[in-house]
Amino acid sequence: MKNIQRLCHAIAKEKGFWDKDRNDGELIALMHSELSEALEWLRNEQKLKKEEMWNKVEEEMADCVIRIFDFCEARGLDLETAIWQKMDKNRKRPKKHGKVF
């Protein structure tokens, strides 16, 4: 995962997205925008064949993950370790983390 994180950032730099320092809020908003695009594909599923709709959703999810990896590498964050730690923490939590939904 660390190699993928490095590669995502390297490609973003190569394509000019890091020619100047970037604002954290903007970067997080761009991650969110990829999820919103996936939601829009789901909302328009009647206009597409199911397989085509899911392909579009997969692509937007991939875009979101790529943006997350890029951000984490740029900021020196160890996403892989954080994911493992968070999964371990969640594994020990109560059902639905003690919430209704």
pLDDT digits (tens, 9 = 90+) for 1-47: 999 999 999 999 999 999 999 999 999 999 999 999 999 999 887 78
Split into its structural domains, the chain has a count of 1
Residue 98 located in a structural domain: no
- Which pLDDT score, from 0 to 100, does residue 101 have? 86
Residue 84 located in a structural domain: no
Residue 29 located in a structural domain: yes
Q: Give the mean model confidence (pLDDT) for residues 58-80.
A: 98
Residue 100 located in a structural domain: no
Residue 57 located in a structural domain: yes
Write out the residue range of the structural domain in which residue 51 sits: 23-79
pLDDT at 72 over 80: yes
Q: What's the mean per-residue pLDDT of the chain?
A: 95
- Which pLDDT score, from 0 to 100, does residue 48 have? 80
pLDDT at 51 over 90: no
- Those residues whose C-beta lies under 8 Å from the C-beta of residue 61, and which sit 6 or more positions away, are 34, 35, 38
Q: How far apart are the C-alpha atoms of 101 and 88, rounded to whole Å?
A: 20
CB contact at 8 A, 62 and 34: no
Which region, left, alpha or beta, applies to residue 16 given φ > 0 means left and ψ of -120 to 50 means alpha?
A: left
